[in-house]
């Protein structure tokens, strides 16, 4: 067999190994990234809960102020009531009194509603904080694990690339460029074996003329249908 072809077959195997290993690093890192994203999301959830609680407390204070102001108003109305004589004035003060009382009732209702909302705040906050703690722990553990795993894959990759370098040096540059061109589209099936007189890249049968050429010739021959480099298994 053509020496370059022999080396190309070896190179194709090495490239296959590299494309098997490279995504492993991303896969390992993605798992950790997903956990970190979840942690950030849970942190946002906690902040949003805490902000809502803060806002609720401000709302309670505002309603308490309304109650205080209207209570004072009622006190003043009571004092005025003692000195007024005319029916009209009494009615006006009564109306004012009624309005102040309504405002107090409404503010009390608001406070009760807000307090109901706040009731589960502490337990919710604790639950989210626990989730964050658990995630932090998981991430810390994962980090070590990821480092170990990626270091292992990277070491394997380094070996693969070292081997590639050795092989590449042995192959004629023109042949190498030709192979790389095919690899751009055919990826790991750039060089394929001929099985039952068919290309095992595109599975189309090869005519007798090309087939006998592959058998006899020492040239690098490509599939007439798809353009992949062909060889006969030995
Ligand atoms: Zn083909």
| Structure tokens that stand for 132 in this block | 């964050």
Any domain includes 139: yes
Helix (H) / strand (E) element for 198: namely strand 198-199
Pull the structure tokens for residue 228.
Answer: 């992949």
* Residue 119 falls inside a structural domain: yes
Is 185 part of any domain?
no
Establish if 103 belongs to a structural domain. Answer: yes
178 CA to middle of ligand 1, Å?
16
Q: Does any domain span residue 168?
A: no
Assigned domain for 197 exists: no
Is this prediction's pTM over 0.75? no
pLDDT truncated to tens, each residue of the chain (234 aa)?
789 999 999 999 999 999 999 999 999 999 999 999 999 999 999 999 999 999 999 999 999 999 999 999 999 999 999 899 899 999 999 999 999 999 999 999 999 999 998 988 999 999 999 999 999 999 999 999 999 999 999 999 999 999 999 999 999 999 999 999 999 999 999 999 999 999 999 999 999 999 999 999 889 999 999 999 999 997
CA distances from 198 to 67, 195, 207, 229 (A): 91, 5, 9, 12
Domain that includes residue 97, residue range: 22-153
28: CATH: 1.10.287.1490
Cα of 109 vs centre of ligand 1, distance in Å, is 79
Number of folded domains that form the chain: 1
Residue 110 lies in a domain: yes
Cα–Cα distances (Å) from 37 to 40, 44, 79, 127, 210, in that order, read 5, 11, 63, 18, 56
204 CA → ligand 1 middle, Å: 6
User: Beta-carbon neighbour count of residue 183 at 10 Å?
Assistant: 19
Distance between Cα 22 and ligand 1 center (Å): 27
Let me know if residue 186 belongs to a domain: no
The CA 201 to ligand 1 mean position distance, Å, reads 5
- Quote the ligand 1 centre to 227 CA distance (angstroms): 6
**Distance from the alpha carbon of residue 186 to the mean position of ligand 1, in angstroms:** 10
Rounded distance from Cα 222 to ligand 1 centre (Å) = 8
């Amino acid at each position: 067999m053509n020496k370059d072809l022999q080396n190309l077959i070896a190179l194709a195997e090495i490239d296959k190994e590299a494309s098997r290993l490279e995504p492993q690093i991303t896969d390992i890192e993605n798992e950790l990234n997903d956990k970190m994203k979840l942690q950030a999301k849970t942190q946002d959830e906690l902040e949003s809960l805490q902000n809502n609680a803060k806002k609720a407390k401000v709302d309670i204070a505002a309603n308490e102020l309304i109650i205080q102001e209207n209570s004072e108003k009622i006190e003043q109305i009571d004092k005025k009531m003692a000195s007024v004589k005319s029916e009209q004035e009494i009615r006006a003060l009564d109306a004012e009194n009624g309005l102040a009382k309504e405002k107090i009732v409404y503010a009390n209702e608001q406070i009760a509603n807000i307090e109901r909302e706040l009731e589960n705040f502490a337990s919710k906050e604790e639950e989210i904080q626990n989730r964050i703690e658990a995630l932090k722990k998981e991430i810390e553990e994962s980090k070590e694990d990821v480092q170990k795993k990626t270091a292992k894959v990277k070491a394997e990759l380094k070996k693969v690339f070292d081997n590639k370098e050795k092989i590449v040096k042995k192959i004629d540059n023109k042949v190498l460029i030709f192979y790389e061109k095919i690899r751009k589209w055919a990826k790991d099936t750039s060089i394929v074996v001929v099985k039952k007189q068919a290309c095992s890249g595109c599975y189309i049968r090869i005519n007798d003329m090309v087939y006998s050429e592959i058998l006899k010739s020492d040239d690098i021959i490509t599939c007439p249908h798809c353009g992949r480099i062909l060889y006969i298994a030995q």
